[in-house]
Structure 1
Amino acid sequence: MGLKSLVIDAWSWLNYKPVYSDPSLGMPNRRAFPEAHASWVPAADERRLAAYKLLAAYDNNQAGELAELRDGPSARERREFGDPSMFIDTLVAHVMGREQHITVPGAEQTDTENETAAAAAERVQDMLRDWADDELLPMRMLQCERKAVGLGDGVYLLYWDPAKQRPRLKTYDPGFYFPVLPEDGDGADYPDRVHIAWELPEDPKRGLKPRLRRITYELDWIRPATASGVDRAGRAVRAPVMSDPTDDTPAAPVLGRGDQVDDSGAISRMYPWNDEPAYRTCYLTDATWELGDLKGNVDVDDLPMDKASFATNGAGEVLDRLDLYIDFIPVIHVPNTVPPAEEHWGQSSLAKALQAFDELASTDTDSARASATTGLPMIGISGITSHRHDQHVGPGTLFTLGENGRLTAVDTSPALRELRAHGHDLADRAANVVRLPAVSLGTMDPSKVPSGYALELSLGPLDSLISGMRLARDHKDRLLLRFVQRLFLAGQHPDWAGVTPLPARLVRGPYTPTDKAAVLEQVATAYKAEVISLETAIRMLTEAGWPIDDAEKEIEQIQARSFEQARMLADALGNPDEVAAFLGRQAPDEQVAPTVQLPGLPAAATVDDPVAQGQQGSRGSE
């Protein structure tokens, strides 16, 4: 009967866009989104890829250019002044915070009883911070966060670089990310197979046809060792390594280094970060196909492997199910929001306000047209007697009118004022929907804020928004630092030899204006009242934006000048070594007792001075 089905999914907030949900097809327009309709793209990912492209067009002021493919040249006339991009940049700055710190619990505890654990935590923390500096972690995070906030999803990829001897961090567009999610499981579960795939354009100079490149990470059972080789067609592939046959035993597959076979015949391996043997490992495949070879009903997960050509890494290893000797997939998906139950994907921060942005663009377009008539006013002339002029209004133009002639000017400025006021209302509506108060956008006059408490209340919606966004990223940040530690161990870096991976956190700094004086007063009062420790006080000041680079060194410098506390510690313990350690100094080898001063003696005299004794005796006889 031609009934139209109602689609409600993670991308249904875009159904109002004709270019996204074509009324005749019920799916994204093929001309506008050809990438989403590629033969290798799974049907479940078509709407997702089209949504990414549409959101990217809004971010780059190209929504009208994209709509032109369906609505014609008139769609290019819309004015786009960067409001979506400004919202994205503001949210990225807030969710990132002013600074980012890597912390390992226990590393800042200087008075702990278990000094070995504290030293281990401090060592791991220092090495992770060194890695973050070398790898430009804040910049990588900024790249990923802009994708996550604008598109709804971001992707990290970690891999070991033998040349630089450290894990490298890359960010990918979520449109390249194709996880194989379980059909009967929770979409929030970590997938066992992840594809990163994109098309390569034709290169006539090099004689290359359009191709598809796919990088696959897959968790699978540990199998015998393989080595690089070639097949009968001359392709570089990996083949099992076989032992040399003897008279008594035939050739058999060779196990990888450190692998063992248990009683059931399964191969196990002991990883440096596990306490028990593991039976699975991660395999890497980097292959390329010519698009002309992809025929039939195939998608990114079941491409014909006999048509693939495999890449080779810097060590000469063919990337055809190469065993990475790790038991995790080093790909981290970062959702912008906490996904709904049993879902995998986040939601763009522009999603709910996209219609407001469309209305705002239409109002800006009308305002631009109205400003033309306001700057060049329309004038009606009646009773003109001279035709020497072309009747164009300009400086010095003279019109000769008849007896009842007159000039009538049409004032369109009221309409322009109404359009501008309507634009401000729409901008405020979009900010309210996104939960960005005017003070966070920098559009509020600070002199109009009645009090600091009122300012704090106005930031309430932003606080809840950023709290939810950071909650969605908290586990991913921990996972990133956990993978970094494991890759250092898998790469056998000498500095990490014997190190046990520890839980680490990526602390994001404050995002709202902080009253440092008020925080200092609170910290000083609480520390003086002995309700918080010095470590907690330093951490609170650091989070408030005080310029403290290393909390542990700051604590040591404070204690090195705390002589009154050192005296109290000496009275309580009577141990000079403890007092010297508290001050960060070396205790003297021998303790010399102070000289005893008797009453009535000169300051320079002692009981051992015979002269002083003689004088005392003579005075006594007198």
Structure 2
Amino acid sequence: MRLRDVRDLIIDTFSWANYRQDMADPRRPGGMLSQTVPTWVPDGDLRRLAAYKIAGAYDHNQAGQLHAVTRGDESALDRRELGDAAKLIDTALGYLLGDGQTITVPGAERVDAPAVDDSEPPWEVKTAARLQEDLRAWAEKELLPMRMQQAERVAVRGGDTVYTLAWDPARARPRLSVYDPGFYFPDFDDDADQADYPDRVHFAWQIPADPNRGTEERVRRITYELGPIGAHTRTAADGGRREPVVDGNGWALLTPGDAVDSEGRITRRYPWQPDRPSTVTCYLTDAEWRLKDLKGHHTVYNLPTDKATYRQRADGEVLDRLDLMVDYLPVVHVPNTIPDAGEHWGRPVFAGVLQALDELSATDTDSAAASATTGAPVVAVSGARMPVNRNTGQPEPVMLRAGSVVQLADGGSMDVLDTAGQLAELRQRTDHLLDRIAVNSRLTSAGLGTLDPTALPSGYALELALGPLDSLIGEMRLVRDHKYTLLLKFVARLYQAGRVWPSGELPSARLAFGPLTPTDQAAVLDLVVKAYEAGVISLETAVRMLMDGGFPIDSAATEIDLIQARDFDAAARLADATGDSTAVREYLGLPEADPDTGPAPLIPTPALPEPARENPDDTEEDR
């Protein structure tokens, strides 16, 4: 793209792809999106969709094909792509997710802590423990780790991913879905800050025609929208729309449980805030439009309602502004990186090294050509009689094979074109580009596995080498910390809305990612044992360090109880120091002694006869 004016220079979240001509005008004839993006997609979203397509092409080793299609360069089809972009994505994804994810609720670990008296744990502790157990059970049923792998790979590759939640009455639990960000269209007002989440979002895609079923090309759009609570509605008799429920006098009825405040607004008390009435609810609309009914001015944000065909839920409810009975959008958008100020979108992990990947691909292509002439060199022969084709009269090419003999005349010669030196230079350039990509992507050579382990003098040197990777993953996890806390909060509230969990405000749950790098468990164990025996750390801290080191400990409190129940040496020292048997029994986890039980009876020892005393007057024989 040739810039004629500084106003043609676009600097935004997707500027990492500006060097490609595909980003200049994606809808131009022959452009990248000229055939794949229809007119109902707004112009403001074209750069984002083009960036997703470019990222996907690099991930699937199709950047050369994309270049050939958009620029008409057939030579790009011979471009060598050896999976370097996919390796960056998969490596970053592995470090991001760690060796596992754990749902934790603060305070849940204290439910098994020993109490001073026989009192039960506080209500807050029992609630946190129950919430943690229920959320973990939900995550197992909904295959949360697999869904996260699916969603997070899209985020690492393209910069964004989207989760949605919906209550399933048949299964009596929230269902988790993952959407491609190319289907996601947040509806921001003109003066809204895109750093804030909008009150309306759309998911839209095009459905191709199916001649076998007799269906035409259609556009499907799913909309979640926050709005004032309205009257109770039901599916109309014709099944096409929803209509208000009215009484015998024609007055609209309210949804059971709703009320009207002094200002005439309809209010509702949600289970998670029973003491605070709300005037807001979320409406769901799922409709389709025939593509031929959409005009040039129609976009995903203003599709004509009079041309819509509304879909029905499994229970027969028409999805035409269906009241979901929640006061939030059950949608969670997860950017891969921390968005810039006022922005909504993230960036892929290889955004800064995309041109380096092009350079690497070009070098691999040149290396393949050079290796061909090195393995089968070009030979020039002079002074030799070459065979002649009898039909054309032209010399025929001679193929040299192992054992071939070429007869040369006096003064004849044979020369071989040696390209081994050029091939070696190309290989060195490949290594240079790989190091440059590792440094600029912050995945590091150590993180990508290309660093020779013997080149590191110590474990501390390895930690320094992984420093940029720690920083990168720290930023990626920081932006996700709030998102997954929000996702788990939505799950809990949907359970409450479904009347499965009790009402009341619930504590916040967090999703903890596993360790970034493998842990030397032997070194951790040695450090913990020495520190605990030296008395510089407590048993609680020692167990927590073992848990962080990857040891299979589910509950720190339970593990401490098991350790103390078998630590008779420490119990003996406690008895010697305090003389309090009650404290010793509590330490060992034994019940209190029954005060009515007397001491154990002792068998009396029989008296032994006294030995005969010696008489000083006895002789030796008498003795």
CA-CA distance at 1:566 after TM superposition:
5.7
The answer to whether the Cα contact below 8 Å between 1:112 and 1:118 also exists between their aligned partners in 2 is no
User: Cα 1:490–1:513, aligned 2, differ >3 Å: closer, same or farther?
Assistant: same
The answer to whether the Cα contact below 8 Å between 1:36 and 1:46 also exists between their aligned partners in 2 is no
Cα distance between partner residues in 2 of 1:471 and 1:29: 41
Verify: 1:95 aligned to 2:106, yes or no. Answer: no
1:254 aligned partner? 253
Cα distance between partner residues in 2 of 1:400 and 1:539: 82
Cα distance between partner residues in 1 of 2:315 and 2:471: 49
Cα distance between partner residues in 1 of 2:519 and 2:455: 19
User: Cα 1:296–1:112, aligned 2, differ >3 Å: closer, same or farther?
Assistant: farther
Verify: 1:366 aligned to 2:361, yes or no. Answer: no
| Superposed counterparts of 1:256-271, under 5 Å | 256-271=255-270
CA-CA distance at 1:518 after TM superposition:
3.1
1:32 aligned partner? 32
Could you list the per-position Cα deviations for residues 538-588 of structure 1 after superposition, in whole angstroms to 9, with x for gaps in the alignment?
333222211224445434433433445666778869685x87666555445
SS in structure 1 of the partner of residue 21 of structure 2: coil
Residue 137 of structure 1 aligns with an amino acid whose one-letter code is L
Which range moves more in the overlay, 54-63 or 162-171?
162-171
CA-CA distance at 1:364 after TM superposition:
0.6
Verify: 1:156 aligned to 2:157, yes or no. Answer: no
Residue 254 of structure 1 aligns with an amino acid whose one-letter code is L
CA-CA distance at 1:420 after TM superposition:
1.2
Fraction of identical pairs, as percent: 50
User: Cα 1:556–1:158, aligned 2, differ >3 Å: closer, same or farther?
Assistant: farther
| Superposed counterparts of 1:468-507, under 5 Å | 468-493=475-500, 496-498=501-503, 500-507=505-512
Residue 94 of structure 1 aligns with an amino acid whose one-letter code is Y
The answer to whether the Cα contact below 8 Å between 1:478 and 1:505 also exists between their aligned partners in 2 is yes
| Superposed counterparts of 1:196-235, under 5 Å | 196-230=203-237, 234=238
Verify: 1:238 aligned to 2:233, yes or no. Answer: no
Verify: 1:440 aligned to 2:441, yes or no. Answer: no
CA-CA distance at 1:517 after TM superposition:
2.9
User: Cα 1:582–1:202, aligned 2, differ >3 Å: closer, same or farther?
Assistant: farther
1:166 aligned partner? 173
The answer to whether the Cα contact below 8 Å between 2:272 and 2:504 also exists between their aligned partners in 1 is no
Cα distance between partner residues in 2 of 1:2 and 1:587: 88
1:462 to 455, 460, 469: 469
Which range moves more in the overlay, 439-448 or 401-410?
439-448
| Superposed counterparts of 1:121-160, under 5 Å | 121-160=128-167
Verify: 1:276 aligned to 2:281, yes or no. Answer: no
Could you list the per-position Cα deviations for residues 444-503 of structure 1 after superposition, in whole angstroms to 9, with x for gaps in the alignment?
22222211111111011101111111101110011111111111111112xx23564211
CA-CA distance at 1:70 after TM superposition:
2.5
Which range moves more in the overlay, 467-476 or 393-402?
393-402
Cα distance between partner residues in 1 of 2:293 and 2:426: 55
1:8 aligned partner? 11
The answer to whether the Cα contact below 8 Å between 2:109 and 2:555 also exists between their aligned partners in 1 is no
The answer to whether the Cα contact below 8 Å between 2:166 and 2:174 also exists between their aligned partners in 1 is yes
Which range moves more in the overlay, 102-111 or 259-268?
102-111
SS in structure 2 of the partner of residue 286 of structure 1: strand
The alignment's TM-score, normalised by the length of structure 1, stands at 0.89
User: Cα 1:105–1:616, aligned 2, differ >3 Å: closer, same or farther?
Assistant: farther
The answer to whether the Cα contact below 8 Å between 2:26 and 2:50 also exists between their aligned partners in 1 is no
1:599 aligned partner? none
Could you list the per-position Cα deviations for residues 393-446 of structure 1 after superposition, in whole angstroms to 9, with x for gaps in the alignment?
112322110000011001111111111111111111111110111121112222
1:546 to 543, 548, 551: 551
Cα distance between partner residues in 2 of 1:276 and 1:582: 46
User: Cα 1:186–1:517, aligned 2, differ >3 Å: closer, same or farther?
Assistant: farther
User: Cα 1:540–1:211, aligned 2, differ >3 Å: closer, same or farther?
Assistant: farther
CA-CA distance at 1:282 after TM superposition:
0.7
Note the residue ranges of structure 2 that are not aligned, 5 or more in a row.
Answer: 389-395, 613-623
User: Cα 1:386–1:134, aligned 2, differ >3 Å: closer, same or farther?
Assistant: closer
The alignment's TM-score, normalised by the length of structure 2, stands at 0.89
Could you list the per-position Cα deviations for residues 39-69 of structure 1 after superposition, in whole angstroms to 9, with x for gaps in the alignment?
2112211100010011000000011111111
Could you list the per-position Cα deviations for residues 180-226 of structure 1 after superposition, in whole angstroms to 9, with x for gaps in the alignment?
12432332212111111111111111111111111111111111110
Cα distance between partner residues in 2 of 1:550 and 1:535: 11
SS in structure 2 of the partner of residue 61 of structure 1: coil
CA-CA distance at 1:604 after TM superposition:
2.4
1:311 aligned partner? 311
Residue 258 of structure 1 aligns with an amino acid whose one-letter code is G
Residue 75 of structure 1 aligns with an amino acid whose one-letter code is A
The answer to whether the Cα contact below 8 Å between 2:27 and 2:34 also exists between their aligned partners in 1 is no
CA-CA distance at 1:302 after TM superposition:
1.1
CA-CA distance at 1:29 after TM superposition:
6.6
Residue 303 of structure 2 aligns with an amino acid whose one-letter code is L
Cα distance between partner residues in 1 of 2:30 and 2:272: 48
Verify: 1:514 aligned to 2:519, yes or no. Answer: yes
Cα distance between partner residues in 2 of 1:455 and 1:595: 63
Aligned residues: 592
The answer to whether the Cα contact below 8 Å between 1:155 and 1:172 also exists between their aligned partners in 2 is yes
Could you list the per-position Cα deviations for residues 274-316 of structure 1 after superposition, in whole angstroms to 9, with x for gaps in the alignment?
1411110111111111111111412111111111111111111
User: Cα 1:298–1:583, aligned 2, differ >3 Å: closer, same or farther?
Assistant: farther
Residue 284 of structure 1 aligns with an amino acid whose one-letter code is L
The answer to whether the Cα contact below 8 Å between 2:203 and 2:222 also exists between their aligned partners in 1 is yes
Residue 319 of structure 2 aligns with an amino acid whose one-letter code is L
User: Cα 1:533–1:367, aligned 2, differ >3 Å: closer, same or farther?
Assistant: same
Verify: 1:592 aligned to 2:597, yes or no. Answer: yes
Cα distance between partner residues in 2 of 1:588 and 1:108: 28
SS in structure 2 of the partner of residue 283 of structure 1: strand
SS in structure 2 of the partner of residue 281 of structure 1: strand
1:192 aligned partner? 199
1:600 aligned partner? none
CA-CA distance at 1:514 after TM superposition:
1.6
Cα distance between partner residues in 1 of 2:40 and 2:242: 25
Cα distance between partner residues in 2 of 1:284 and 1:594: 74
| Superposed counterparts of 1:379-418, under 5 Å | 379-385=379-385, 387=387, 390-418=397-425
Verify: 1:350 aligned to 2:357, yes or no. Answer: no
SS in structure 2 of the partner of residue 19 of structure 1: helix
Residue 40 of structure 1 aligns with an amino acid whose one-letter code is W
User: Cα 1:218–1:582, aligned 2, differ >3 Å: closer, same or farther?
Assistant: farther
CA-CA distance at 1:522 after TM superposition:
4.1
**Please, what is the CA RMSD of the aligned residues?**
2.7
| Superposed counterparts of 1:284-363, under 5 Å | 284-363=284-363
Residue 450 of structure 1 aligns with an amino acid whose one-letter code is P
Which range moves more in the overlay, 40-49 or 383-392?
383-392
Verify: 1:18 aligned to 2:25, yes or no. Answer: no
Cα distance between partner residues in 2 of 1:296 and 1:17: 28
